[in-house]
Amino acid sequence: MADALSMKRREFLLASAGAAASARAAQTGSRPNILLIITDQHHASALAACGNPHLRTPAMDHLCRSGFRFAQSYTTDPVCSPARSSIFTGRMPSETGVASNGIAIRAGIPNIGEWLAAEAGYETVYAGKWHLPNSYTGNIPGFRVLGGGISGQGNIGDTCVSRVCEAYLRNRAPGVLS
């Protein structure tokens, strides 16, 4: 398994810069697709790949085996929306203004969707729970929202959200999920 621990910090920063550069390179035709999956409030100890002997998490274990696993990464906030605001902006919740759930990111702070769309020519799509104010959920800057999740819960929304994501991909690029 590739593990970020096995890389020196300098090597990782170089690799990260490479990823950013590849986003730029996307405009010239060699653009990778980027899929960011967020499992809500999911601690590493609840993954088989991280040593839990009681749970079966084959899909995420596969991602761990075939990619990098950051074993010493820490969230900026234990509450989900503030943590997500950091993931999407690269800033601390004290800067994004998302002090708790149900608060939108402060106006004027760009998120990664806006950056990828404006700077790298990506079509940016979001589906599922974010736990924003309802008035904001369908109008997230920088993203087309496919399905905004249901009542702040993942449980009921799982099959609905996976259905709309699957439909979007199949209709846009038939064969991509075959």
Pick the closer one to another protein by CB: 113 or 149. Answer: 149
Contact footprint for another protein (CB under 8 A)? 56, 134, 137-138, 145-153, 155-157, 159-160, 162-164, 166-168, 170-172, 174-178
Q: Tokens for 156, please give them.
A: 């009921």
Shortest Cβ distance from residue 65 to another protein (Å)? 19
Nearest to another protein of 115, 143 (CB atom):
143
CB of 38 to another protein, least distance (A): 16
Q: What single letter denotes the amino acid at residue 62?
A: H
Asked if 84 and 130 count as a contact pair (C-beta separation under 8 A), the reply is: yes
Beta strands in the chain (DSSP E): 2-3, 68-69, 125-127, 144-147
The DSSP element (H or E) to which 84 belongs, if any, is helix 80-89
Nearer to another protein, 40 or 119 (CB): 40
User: What is the nearest approach in angstroms of another protein to the Cβ of residue 132?
Assistant: 8
Element (H, E) at 125: strand 125-127
Cβ-based nearer residue to another protein, 12 or 168: 168
Outline where 35-79 has alpha helix (H). 58-66
Shortest separation between residue 63's beta carbon and another protein, angstroms: 16
